[in-house]
Structure 1
Amino acid sequence: MSDAWVCSVLQTYEGDPAPAHRYVDGEGRTRELSRARLLDEVRDRARRLTGCGAGPGSRVALLADDPGRFVPAFLGAIWAGMVPVPLPPPPVLGRRDAWAEAVAASLPVARPDLVVAEETALAPMPATPARHLSYASLESAAGPADTPAPAAYRPERTAYLQFSSGSTGRPRAVVATAGSVTANSLAIMRDALAADPARDHGVSWLPLHHDMGLVGFVLAPLAVGVPVTLVATRLFVRDPGVWMRTLSDVKGTITGAPNFAYALATRRTDRDRLARLDLSGAHTLLCGGEPVSPRTLRDFADAHRVAGLDPAALRPCYGLAESTLAVSVAPRGTATRPDRVSWSRLRDHDRADPSGDGAESVEVMGCGRPFPGHEVRVVAESGRPGADREVGEIWVRGPSVCAGYVDRTPDRPTPVTDDGWLRTGDRGYLADGVLHPTGRLKDVLVVQGRNIDPQRVEWAAEAVDGVRTGGAVAFTRPGTDTEEVVVVAECRPRRSADIGDAVRETVSRRLGLGVGDVVAVGPGTVAKTTSGKPRRQEMRRRYLLGDLPPVHNDPPRDTP
């Protein structure tokens, strides 16, 4: 696999005029790089990072904002044998205090020697022993006359540190090795997508500090030479329609995002604008990062059919940072055929037994079989491997599994595996070898002795008119006889008055489950991870502290 290692591929780009990267910054400005130009910029950043005092093994924290600045610096650090550490940029709107707190918690774990960020992000960053400098300063810094030699492929070499997006707990930095990155990149691009550099073009707006954006649309395409257009995340936040417009404009064939982004793109793009797009060439739209809603994919497919989108291109996938990125990807056409199972058997017995089309059934999306050379097993609470269609914890084993976690102490990685198996903390089941994730182990709602995945409650709540798609979160609170379900639902002020009763009625009708409390909150209140998953335990903490301000009806027009 050494020929697919980042540095090995980049070395072949010498003098090559073929397209490599197209960067679109937060203001919509575009910059295109040929393969030769990308190699030049990577070498340049490697040289300048060296001039700033970093060397082989040095950790370089890079705020991942403008892709045109971040990507060459990230690849330049890998080229020079340094260990880049992607960090999130400040949010576009609000929550700057939360961002500063997150960065302050991450830096002591990563312990970087150098921190590089946009000038405006340097001031609010916490002080560290590391040297802090702006991207502009890096790009103009003096460096040695000779470019550092490219880092040789060694499977155990630390390629970079990736903070897991986990919904609970303190920051954990995953050690991605050259071997795990290369194995996962090839599994995605060759085994799952059969990508062809001559015909394929990737498009992504995903945050580059997150594994789905970084591995899925920088490292994996690079391993096989597929060109990519990288759109600044802040541009998508302001205008979700830029995603499909860009895919149409560049005749993109591969893209992907978490479930919530498909719902957002459907909701925020009108049919007339969609009719002017051409999505007929797109053969793969990956959906992962959180449990996949069949309804969301159906709505997206229906809305974008007018633009020529083939519904079979929607492909659910499953993965996590501890396995570099992906574990499995569904084959084409799977998105239209979810697994319909008995809700009572799933809820009461952790069994995903097939059901008819009655009201008592629920849909679970399959995410394909594990990649070649990789294994998945589902383990029951007793610790034994579960039978077919038995729900339990998902375990993963294979060459994509990373080396471990970097914690504050000791310096050596803490292993992520148990006898070679990665315990993911996710729940799911296997049916005829196909993996069906159902939720997070720690987030399971235990009510009257029944295990209920919170996504089911959240999806039911989001079906209520006025609740924002992706804006519902479910957890439990202590009750008199058993835990009680609480739903926090984002909605507009004018729609909040009857939300509580409607959510209770819908959840009861669809799931046979009582809801103890419904809190209507304003848009943007629900805390989320870097991949858009709700941070349920954080929302539960805020709820129990009484720290969730309810949304209020709009004041009269003559109020100052």
Structure 2
Amino acid sequence: MSRFVETLVASAQRNSGENGRGLTTGEPEQPRFRTWGRVHADALRIAGALGAELEPGAAVAVLAADPALIAPAVQAVWLGGGSVTMLHQPTPRTDLAHWAEDTLRVLKMIGARLVLLGPPFEQLSGLLDENSIAHRDLAALAESDAAPLAGPVEVGEDATALLQLTSGSTADPKAVRITHGNLHANLLAMVEAAELDAERDVAVSWLPLFHDMGMVGCLTVPMAIGMSAVKVTPADFLARPLLWPELITKYRGTVTAAPNFAYAIVGRRMARADDGDFDLSSVRFTLNGAEPIDPAAVRTFTEAGARFGLSPTSMVCAFGMAEATLAVSFAPLGRGLEVDVVDGDALEHRRAEPVSPDTPRARQFALLGGPLPGLEVDVVDDDGRRLGDRQVGRLRIRGAAVTPGYLTVGGPLSTQDSAGWLDTGDDGYLVDGQVVICGRRKDVIIMGGRNIYPIDIERAACEVEGVRAGNAAAVRQEAGSRRERFAVVLESRLAGDEAAEKALRKEVAARVVDAVGVRPSAVVVLAPGALPKTPSGKLRRAATATLIPTD
């Protein structure tokens, strides 16, 4: 069996007794705990019930919300030699016709032979029947009395374990092919870099399992090393964000992870909570990744959490991407948020010159640490020449955790060049061995020879009262032309009030001019929830551009 599957089996064997570590689900209404040994036994039973439908190399898609069902289901697929694809989940606001069209394209792209359906998505079985796609009821499989799979199926290190759907903004789906070897390499690297201790650490997470940080970091890693984990759903978190610190308090959580926006939301709410509502003194590792890190949002969270015992040094800023399985770099442990302050004018000409924070147009970037064990990161110019410290260029990664390729609607696509390097698509630089991300290269706004990063515009817009935090997008217009410009599209509860909208647009434009020295061509105000986003919450810039009125 692969080394990854060996870790799953070993974890189950170590945690098969009454005192074994495992997975807690069902909070806050009906908490349920199962040891990893129990999860493994359930996985063997599910694999046995699937029989010939599960075979080496089979692509199996999963559409379910309950982590209690998902955990044994994905392990069952791995034990049977198949690959897992977590389908993006429709929400109450999703256009089901569009979702169905996109999902059918994904299933065809990955060559899925089977879909495992769990609550609340059983009603979609008719759609699958109409398109001759086999499916099984996951809840029924979990209760099956079929003979369990005798043991793991032999697969090689290059066999596909996970087909991670990307959350890009294009219409065409794409899946990152993660091998058993990739998974094993990255989970070991994360264990080492985060100093995870299966006997001591407890992970608490609400992250979606169709996203790499939720699936790999907050479910697969605990399952593989036998670390206790508490898992709720994104819907649980969005309904009551303070459930997150409540669960950390209840279970003495030590490890957690989230995108930057979630720390901002919870920080603001904890600031209004009563003394004694939470006890966060057990937390030692709060990973911040998956989207640009705003130092102000980090400070909002750590300062609010300090009243409840949270150590400010627990914050670990990180760089990750599905193409590296999950993690590329972690900031050094025990140091908390560290920023690099650079001259904004020099940055626009691809130089990261350090300045004091009170310098006009200074820019702050979170330091994201050095590459994890087994990975390399470098920076090159457009001609592929390696750049030195503080020179801004194209970030590349190489190593055992890096995917060999994508599956696309047009067929397989390699990701690495002849030397094994993968272009991340990010602009950034290195300083003292640590990674700094400036922004996505394709989103850079070029005006008068200056490289303006959307994040600077978006942070300036979000500083204006009335703009929803984290819900502003700077969008390129007429890219590559002499008249390249940009617009700002934002969400506000003031949408629909003509006078209030006019004042908000004026203030946002002025704040953006102060920040980057250029006025947006337009400021568009939308109602809350109207900004187009991917299923994992990232802005869909191409779709956002269609919301800008034409001249």
TM-score bracket for the superposition, by shorter chain length: over 0.9
The one of 121, 124, 132 aligned to 2:135: 132
The one of 497, 504, 516 aligned to 1:499: 504
CA distance in 2, matches of 1:101, 1:444: 31
CA distance in 2, matches of 1:255, 1:497: 41
Q: Which amino acid aligns with 2:315?
A: L
Identity fraction in percent: 34
Q: Secondary structure at the match of 1:151?
A: coil
CA distance in 2, matches of 1:200, 1:220: 12
Is this contact kept in 2: 1:113–1:129, CA < 8 A? no
| Closer/same/farther in 2, CA of residues 527 and 511 from structure 1, 3 Å limit | same
Q: Which amino acid aligns with 1:517?
A: A
Q: Which amino acid aligns with 1:237?
A: L
Query: Deviation digits for residues 254-300 of structure 1, max 9, x if unmatched?
Result: 00011111122223445224741011110110011011111110111
Deviation at 1:114, TM superposition (A): 0.9
Is 1:490–2:491 an aligned residue pair?
yes
| Closer/same/farther in 2, CA of residues 344 and 543 from structure 1, 3 Å limit | same
| Closer/same/farther in 2, CA of residues 297 and 282 from structure 1, 3 Å limit | same
Aligned to 1:314: 315
Deviation at 1:209, TM superposition (A): 0.8
Deviation at 1:6, TM superposition (A): 4.4
| Closer/same/farther in 2, CA of residues 103 and 6 from structure 1, 3 Å limit | farther
Structure 1 unaligned regions, length at least 5: 547-560
CA distance in 2, matches of 1:212, 1:249: 23
Is 1:417–2:416 an aligned residue pair?
yes
Aligned to 1:382: 383
CA distance in 1, matches of 2:304, 2:148: 54
Q: Which amino acid aligns with 2:528?
A: P
Aligned to 1:339: 340
Aligned to 1:368: 369
May I ask how many residue pairs the two structures share in their alignment? 539
Deviation at 1:421, TM superposition (A): 0.5
TM-score normalized by the length of structure 1: 0.91
Q: Secondary structure at the match of 2:307?
A: helix
Aligned to 2:21: 19
Aligned to 1:291: 292
Is this contact kept in 1: 2:189–2:374, CA < 8 A? no
Aligned to 1:468: 468
CA distance in 2, matches of 1:94, 1:13: 42
Query: Deviation digits for residues 131-179 of structure 1, max 9, x if unmatched?
Result: 1233233334564x35142134632121121112223352111111111
| Closer/same/farther in 2, CA of residues 514 and 482 from structure 1, 3 Å limit | same
The 5 A counterparts of 1:400-439 are 400-410=401-411, 413-419=412-418, 420-439=420-439
Deviation at 1:10, TM superposition (A): 4.2
Deviation at 1:29, TM superposition (A): 2.3
| Closer/same/farther in 2, CA of residues 542 and 6 from structure 1, 3 Å limit | farther
Q: Secondary structure at the match of 2:86?
A: strand
| Closer/same/farther in 2, CA of residues 296 and 77 from structure 1, 3 Å limit | same
Query: Deviation digits for residues 25-84 of structure 1, max 9, x if unmatched?
Result: 6x7322101132122111122112226x23222211101411111111111111111212
Q: Which amino acid aligns with 1:417?
A: Q
Q: Secondary structure at the match of 1:490?
A: strand
Aligned to 1:164: 166
The 5 A counterparts of 1:536-547 are 536-543=541-548
Is this contact kept in 2: 1:258–1:532, CA < 8 A? no
Deviation at 1:484, TM superposition (A): 1.7
Q: Secondary structure at the match of 2:273?
A: helix
Structure 2 unaligned regions, length at least 5: none
Is 1:46–2:51 an aligned residue pair?
no
| Closer/same/farther in 2, CA of residues 334 and 444 from structure 1, 3 Å limit | farther
| Closer/same/farther in 2, CA of residues 189 and 481 from structure 1, 3 Å limit | same
Is this contact kept in 1: 2:12–2:36, CA < 8 A? no
Deviation at 1:415, TM superposition (A): 1.6
The 5 A counterparts of 1:171-186 are 171-186=173-188
TM-score normalized by the length of structure 2: 0.92
Deviation at 1:402, TM superposition (A): 1.5
Query: Deviation digits for residues 104-149 of structure 1, max 9, x if unmatched?
Result: 3322212211112235524444543321233233334564x35142
The 5 A counterparts of 1:228-247 are 228-247=229-248
Q: Which amino acid aligns with 2:106?
A: S
The one of 514, 517, 527 aligned to 1:512: 517
Is 1:56–2:56 an aligned residue pair?
yes
| Closer/same/farther in 2, CA of residues 456 and 31 from structure 1, 3 Å limit | same
Q: Which amino acid aligns with 2:464?
A: V
Is this contact kept in 1: 2:16–2:35, CA < 8 A? no
Query: Deviation digits for residues 224-270 of structure 1, max 9, x if unmatched?
Result: 22111111121112111111111111110000011111122223445
Is this contact kept in 1: 2:79–2:152, CA < 8 A? yes
Is this contact kept in 2: 1:43–1:147, CA < 8 A? yes
CA distance in 2, matches of 1:287, 1:237: 18
CA distance in 1, matches of 2:442, 2:400: 26
Aligned to 1:114: 114
Query: Deviation digits for residues 537-558 of structure 1, max 9, x if unmatched?
Result: 2211343679xxxxxxxxxxxx
Moved over 6 A (4+): none
Q: Secondary structure at the match of 1:418?
A: coil
